[in-house]
Structure 1
């Protein structure tokens, strides 16, 4: 059984990756590390009359596990990469990269028959 995930280590890894400002490891585009929420977008449970937006921006920075933890990937820095929230959600827990291709066109999807 894997060790429980530690939030202090998670936050340290997140900061370490963000310090280098790498591009999205899934699509290859640059990441705007200042994005947090989508302005004017509100979640279903939002009740704040002065809320300016509480839904995470789809292009904001998140950390992606290259090999998902639930697929046996370790929760270590070497198995993590920067990603857009949208790209990470599309990839989900797949190991083949999900439905997103690097926009450079240098990678191709395998034929699935």
Structure 2
């Protein structure tokens, strides 16, 4: 059996494909994610680990949620991160 390769290889690509197919809403801000944007765009799709990899989180579908690149970067490796409250109108 092959050794787990982390965030590269077929197992990770399967997790990302399942995540894109099931949910396209950022779990941090609640807005829709456009999966067709280039990877470097701030509102592009990324997989955010609930328990960060640096703190022992596994790269499985149970530990991954969809997020915008900007939202994922703001959260960083914080475990107790609370997303900002959504307001009733844009400010």
TM-score, with length taken from structure 1: 0.65
The answer to whether residue 78 in structure 2 is matched with residue 101 in structure 1 is no
Structure number with bigger Rg: 1
- Mapping for residues 56-95 of structure 1, pairs under 5 Å: 56-95=40-79
Equivalent residues, number: 84
- In the alignment, what sits opposite 1:19? 21
Where has structure 1 moved over 6 Å in runs of 4 or more? none
Alpha-carbon offset, residue 4 of structure 1? 4.5
Alpha-carbon offset, residue 82 of structure 1? 0.3
Query: Which residues of structure 2 form unaligned runs of 5+?
Result: none
Q: State the distance in 2 between where 1:94 and 1:33 align.
A: 25
Q: Secondary structure at the match of 2:30?
A: coil
Query: Which residues of structure 1 form unaligned runs of 5+?
Result: 38-55, 106-113
More helix by share: 2
Alpha-carbon offset, residue 101 of structure 1? 1.5
Pairwise CA RMSD: 2.0
Which of 4, 29, 33 is residue 35 of structure 2 equivalent to?
Answer: 33
Give per-residue Cα distances to partners, 1:5-28, cap 9 Å, x unaligned: 152211111111001233101111
